[in-house]
Structure 1
Amino acid sequence: MPAHPRPNSKKERRQESEKLILAAAEKVFSEAGFGGATMQLIADMAGLPKANLHYYFPTKEALYRQVVENIFQIWLKAADVFDDADGPAEGIGAYIDAKMEISRRHPAGSKVWASEVMHRAPVIQDYLETTLLQWTAGRAAIINRWISEGRMDPVDPDHLLYLLWATTQHYADFGHQIETLNGGQPLSDAQWDAAKENTKRIILKGIGVVDPADSGPSGQADLGSRTSRPE
């Protein structure tokens, strides 16, 4: 019995083909940009006839948009931790973990997104003005609630989110630079764990939040000096 049996149903074959195409497109768009990428290059990378690409994605723009939306949906899923978190330590800490892991697992997708935005989002500007705007407003409301409850220092939620995005996505967008500074080697599992822990510690302490891992045996910390405000 083969280790990877071929999909049997029409639906499974379609899903497998789309997966191959999207993975190849993500890589080609990340390296060549939208203008430099061609459907033939993507077909060659996927190991499929060019006609197959046009069957699933009629135009290069449609395929590009799907690649960009896919990485954004992955980012949105990572942000679910905000909605159910007990507080900023748990919510922001888990968000940093998730975003760092996405940078590790999907570096090409992050580069595609960065390149699109740096070119003033010619393909996905409508997405930025709707989905991203709504998502950011929702997370900002949660951060403002934590601030009003005295659970973190008063900071501008938008700028905090920009900081989180820039820091975590740096590990994807500037992966080559990081590898160069790491002796020409990709980060090991231990180094990724250390990067996540250091990033959480620096950011959480910077906004006046105590990471539960750094607090005493009860999991609590003395927040009096932080939450006290002059009358």
Structure 2
Amino acid sequence: MNEQPRPTRRNEIRAQNETLILRAAEKVFAEAGFGGATMQLIADMAGLPKANLHYYFPTKESLYRRVVQDIFEIWLQAAAAMDDAPGPVEGIGAYIDAKMEISRRHPDGSKVWASEVMHGAPVIQDYLETTLRDWTRGRAALIQRWIDEGRMAPVDPNHLLYMLWATTQHYADFGHQIETLNGGRALSDRQWQAAKESVKQIILRGIGAL
């Protein structure tokens, strides 16, 4: 068996720099929005020369679209558990778990997405009209199948999806509010697990799946 070639040092540096840039960009775009962010601010946050940013991402828009695309790809991966599940309890339950974990680990990416959409999606409207629309239609069809099979109550699949997004992403987009109401502290591991279980119970019972 032929061994796969080891990545070169140059490739390792490139991957490290891209990761630094994307993490910094998520934070700056989340705090300043697309209009308020600058490549210099992102470079400073990443601890890299501004020229490095332009080497990897020629324009602010290309970097912004990559940040948005990355968070959406992570959300798509979360939906895989729903696609392969035998029913709504397993599928929607796993989807809630995954989406809330993403909100915990990638809060800035979620905030960037929310801000973009609230401003009318001036940069990613094409993405909403293609990738997101197709994904939503596929998941709505799956939910409708579970309804037709009598596994859950006859609810509007689209509105259920909107509720799932709003609830799970609330923990990222309104994280500061949650921390304030939690005595100024981030939710602990125990509190995150309790939140997931509560959200699953409320939604799954509400749609008649439990």
Q: For the superposition of Structure 1 and Structure 2, which TM-score range results when normalised by the shorter chain?
A: over 0.9
Aligned to 1:95: 95
Task: Give the counterpart letter for 2:145 in structure 1.
Answer: R
Corresponding position of 2:85: 85
TM-aligned CA deviation for residue 8 of structure 1: 5.7
TM value normalised by structure 2: 0.96
Equivalent in the alignment of 1:203: 203
Structure 1 residues 99-158: Cα deviation after superposition (integer angstroms, max 9, x where no partner): 000000000000000000000000000000000000000001100000000000000000
Is 1:165 the equivalent of 2:165? yes
Q: 1:79 is paired with a residue of what secondary structure?
A: helix
Summarize the alignment of residues 20-169 of structure 1 with structure 2, pairs less than 5 Å apart.
20-169=20-169
Where does the alignment leave 5 or more consecutive residues of structure 2 unmatched? Answer: 1-6
The aligned residue for residue 3 of structure 2 is: none
Specify the SS of the correspondent of 2:62. Answer: helix
**Aligned partners of 1:106 and 1:34: how far apart in 2?**
18
User: In the alignment, what sits opposite 1:179?
Assistant: 179
Deviation at 1:83, TM superposition (A): 1.3
Amino acid at match of 1:115: S
| Cα distance between partner residues in 1 of 2:65 and 2:86 | 35
Provide the C-alpha distance between the structure 1 equivalents of 2:153 and 2:8, rounded to a whole number of angstroms.
56
Q: TM-score, normalised by structure 1?
A: 0.87
The more displaced of 79-88 and 193-202 is 79-88
1:214 corresponding residue in structure 2:
none
Query: Which residue type is aligned with residue 88 of structure 2?
Result: P
Distance in 2 (CA, whole Å) between partners of 1:140 and 1:158 is 6
Give the root-mean-square deviation of aligned CA atoms.
0.8
Report Cα offsets for 1:144-183 as digits up to 9, x if no partner: 0000000000000000000000000000000000000000
Letter in 1 for 2:180: T
Letter in 1 for 2:13: R
| Residue 9 (structure 2) aligns with | 9
Deviation at 1:81, TM superposition (A): 1.0
Q: 1:207-218 residue pairs with structure 2 within 5 A? A: 207-210=207-210
Which one-letter code corresponds to 1:123 in the other structure? V
Flag the structure with higher helix content.
Answer: 2
Separation in structure 1 between the aligned mates of residue 192 and residue 8 of structure 2, nearest angstrom = 38
2:148 is aligned with what amino acid? S
State the Cα deviation string for residues 169-226 of structure 1 (Å, max 9, x = none). 000000000000000000000000000000000000000011xxxxxxxxxxxxxxxx
Aligned mates of 1:73, 1:122 — CA distance in 2:
20
The secondary structure found in structure 2 opposite 1:85 is coil
Percent pairwise identity:
79
Partner of 2:192: 192
Q: How many residues align?
A: 204
Based on CA coordinates, which of the two structures has the bigger radius of gyration?
1
